[in-house]
Structure 1
Amino acid sequence: MSLLEFDNLTEEDKLARFIAKIESGEKIEADDWMPDEYRMALIKLISMHGISEIMGALPEKEWVPKAPTLGRKLGIMAKVQDEMGHGQLLLRVTEDLMKPLGKTREDLMEDLLTGRLKFHNVFHMEAPTWGDAGLIGWLVDGAAIMTQTNMLNASYGPYARALQRICAEEVFHAQHGEAIIMALAEGTDEQREMVQDAVNRWWPSLLMFFGPATASTTGSSKQDITIKYKIRTKTNEQLRQDFFSKYVPRILSLGLTVPDPTMSYDKEKDEWTYAQPDWSEFKNIISNNGPKSASRLALRRTAHENNRWVREALSSGEYTG
């Protein structure tokens, strides 16, 4: 069908062709026609993912000068660099989606700094010990891998291709975190206590990581839209159950405890039971009211302003290096 013939189709016919295309496994590209609902769902999802990669580097950045050995320092520096690269890659993908709307990357940063663009709940939290630095790599990145591999075959081609690279690198990040945790768990009583304290501190945030099981909890239907358009395949609760199945046995195998006495595996239902987190607290945290929200946004704001001259020089065409 020619472009002119396609343009003459009704919106209903265009949508029907779009659905048929993604149902057949074809990828949607940046310059393809797409329904507004699909475009906006992608912008919201990928911009949040990209900004979360950038903001997620900040808790570990705090540990670069305090890492206990040179090897650990180099490892966490490399991880921070990777996360920033992931963020830049994803923001570039988002930019292409926003072009028809007349918006740019600068608009994304403005949305972040004014609170309109949210970032992941876990990156609003404190990381006061080296145990927290290890746990972020082990469990937070482990949870992220589950979320991201669920979208490796996303119907939107540019995002699916970006995730191929990101997931490959995230596997190394999780191994890096696991190595830190293993060393501490096999160390002194004080080091083991440090790991247990980190698990206790991060468990509520990890439960919230995948989002609420139903839209009624927060009034959001994002998971329904992303599944409808084959951006992902599993629900929030399915991902959370996968996380429990993989990591609860690993936590227990290290002689650690899960800070939820209600948690158990129901063989008949083939699912884990657990105490629901406080979803009102989740909404409060992602509204930039978490323990480290203000300081991390202030750091991002300072970096954005201090480096404005670089962006202006590049956009003006005067840079010739």
Structure 2
Amino acid sequence: MYNYGGTLATENIDEDKDKYAEFMRRVEAGEKIEADDWMPKEYRETLIKLISMHGISEIMGALPEKEWVPKAPTLKRKLGIMAKVQDEMGHGQLLLRVAEDLMKPYGKTRENLMEDLLNGDLKFHNVFHMPTKTWADAGMVGWLVDGAAIISQTNMLDASYGPYQRALKRICQEEVFHAQHGEAIIMALAEGTEEQRKILQESLNRWWPSLLMFFGPESASTTGSSKQEVTTKYRIRKSSNEELRQAFLDKYLPRVFSLGLTVPDETVHYDETKGHWLYQQPDWNEFKQIISNKGPRSKERLRLREIAYENNRWVRQALAPQVVVS
């Protein structure tokens, strides 16, 4: 998916330096770039990669919780998690439409993105490769995974690309309800029996490394990528991976500790002199393996997506424009 081939008539910055200068003036002035506006190839392809990964992650992110729809402990919980799964799928469809507009010059569609996912060219978030073993995991996804997503997404609420910025505004509003849904599950377990508290602590222990990995490595040198610098240059986002991770720790560690829970890292503490939380870095080699579809549930989740894609092929064919032969 990342190599689209071909060229755009206006993609060469050297040949279109005046257009590039005007583009950067608009970006730096806080103006919004729209789908039909001229944009440099680097900007377009950075957005395609970011938005398509975000959209696919929303769709794949519905699968861990979908597993708990038939197993939710009460009808109220069942209805809540069903509504959340439906929202996440809607977010994915919205974002893939935004990505599709950017892909038009390359002759690519949302169908190509789904094919890229199934053949391993399009990645999805590390957390959605993980198992949800207990009901506490369903709460953990809503409370801390969606909480991390809110921090990441609100960082782009003023993104320079207008269609993405407007989509994020709607998505973030709904994600707040998702986080509250997860928090309600966590609070019920935290105030429950000793067995329920034990299940909750075990869930947090399992999810902690994935939560730290959620925002990605601290520096570009860790992965050999300059994606952070590119997205900042074009005002797509404001903060670095590490700044986002620190914002997450600042918000949620006090809440975790207030519930009498612990994290599986004895080094975690707040450093008054540095003004932030110190913690043990997760295994970034493991992170690379997970997002390369070698996580605990990668194959099963991709297979579910493949089955849904194939079973609904007839719908796409029925909706496709028909060629009329005269």
Would the TM-score normalized by the shorter structure come out above 0.5? yes
Number of equivalences:
311
Partner of 1:22: 27
Deviation of 1:316 (Å): 3.7
Alignment match of 1:286 (pick from 278, 291, 302)? 291
Equivalent of 1:189 in 185, 194, 197: 194
For 2:17 and 2:200, how far apart are their aligned partners in 1? 55
Q: Output aligned runs, 1:1-321, within 5 Å.
A: 10-317=15-322
TM superposition outliers: structure 1 runs of 4+ over 3 Å: none
Q: 2 CA distance for matches of 1:227 and 1:32?
A: 20
Shift of 1:10: 4.0
Residue type matched to 2:202 in 1? D
- Equivalent-residue separation in structure 1 for 2:125 and 2:224 (angstroms): 17
| Mapped partners of 1:275, 1:28: distance in 2 | 39
Cα drift, residue 223 of structure 1:
1.2
Equivalent residue of 2:217, what SS?
coil
Provide TM-score, normalisation by structure 1.
0.95
Counterpart-to-counterpart distance in 2, 1:119 and 1:10: 35
Aligned-residue offset at 1:317: 4.6
Q: Distance in 2 between matches of 1:221 and 1:300?
A: 31
Q: Could you say which residue in structure 1 is the equivalent of 2:6?
A: none
TM-superposition CA deviations, 1:99-126 (whole Å, max 9, x none)? 0111111110110000000000000000
CA distance in 2, matches of 1:184, 1:103: 46
Which one-letter code corresponds to 1:76 in the other structure?
I
SS in 1 for 2:95: helix
What root-mean-square deviation, in Å, do the aligned CA atoms of Structure 1 and Structure 2 show?
1.2
Helix, strand or coil at the partner of 2:270: strand
Unaligned runs of 5+ in 2: 1-13
Give distance in 2, aligned partners of 1:57 and 1:290: 17
AA matched with 2:69: V
* CA distance in structure 2 between the partners assigned to 1:265 and 1:126 by the alignment: 30
- CA–CA distance in structure 2, aligned partners of residues 281 and 115 of structure 1: 17
CA distance in 2, matches of 1:142, 1:307: 32
Q: What's the CA shift for 1:162?
A: 0.2
Q: What secondary structure does 1:265 align onto? A: strand
Q: Which moved more, 1:221-230 or 1:83-92?
A: 221-230
- 1:117 & 1:10 partners in 2: Cα distance? 31
CA distance in 2, matches of 1:238, 1:262: 19
Moved more, 213-222 or 278-287: 213-222
Q: Which amino acid aligns with 1:211?
A: G
Question: How far apart are the structure 2 equivalents of 1:278 and 1:207?
Answer: 10
